[in-house]
Amino acid sequence: MRILPDDTIALVIDYQEKILPPIFDKEEFLKRSNILLAGLKELGIPTIVTAQYTKGLGNTTPEILEALGHDRFHEKFTFSGLGNEEVVEELAKSGRKNVIICGIESHVCVLQTLIDIKEAGYQPILVEDCVSSRKENDKKAAIERAKYEGAIITTYEAILFELLQSAKSEHFKAISKLVK
């Protein structure tokens, strides 16, 4: 199955100030996530952003907001992003069936959101190098479970070029510059 831009949306999960400090390989994770999000913005892929209990866990980090190009988010209290009715409605209104997923933590909020996305009839696409957890093993276990649940597993570079489709695209130079 080809992943096409007109049928794709992204769900950006819990890149928050107080969750990030203990995340495994944090600097590389953030670098890759910023490239992914800047690329999705360049390609015009809509994004839905969640934040878990902002009073206790803080806001979305400034770097991620800059890459997104907006500061809209949906606060949630359930681990799954689909526990927030506004997220469910925004996904439905988009009319898109492929949901790119990135964020933290892989084994909690990311995984539970992914499972709910699949059960709701969407195709989850997990960007494995743009998800993380405090412990590397939790991330690995979450990716294995995501495969079992029917997610497509990809990387930020692979998904950006798949959405780009051609070197003749008007976005080719910008995407190439981002991933170098």
Rounded distance, CA 180 to CA 174, Å? 10
Task: Decide if 14 is catalytic.
Answer: yes
Out of 109, 116, 129, 139, which one is annotated catalytic?
109
Residues near 30 by beta carbon (within 8 Å), at least 6 away in sequence: 20, 61, 63, 64
Residue 74's Cα: distance from chain center in Å? 14
Out of 7, 41, 71, 76, which one is annotated catalytic?
76
Task: Decide if 31 is catalytic.
Answer: no
CA of 75: how far to CAs of 14, 50, 70, 115, 146, in Å? 9, 6, 15, 19, 24
Q: Is 102 exposed, middle or buried (0-12, 13-18, 19+ CB in 10 A)?
A: buried
Query: Which residues share a beta bridge with 125?
Result: 100, 152
Q: Is 152 left (phi over 0), alpha (psi -120 to 50) or beta?
A: beta
Task: Decide if 76 is catalytic.
Answer: yes
How many residues are present in the chain? Answer: 180
Q: End-to-end CA distance of the chain, in Å?
A: 27
Provide the annotated active-site residues.
14, 76, 109
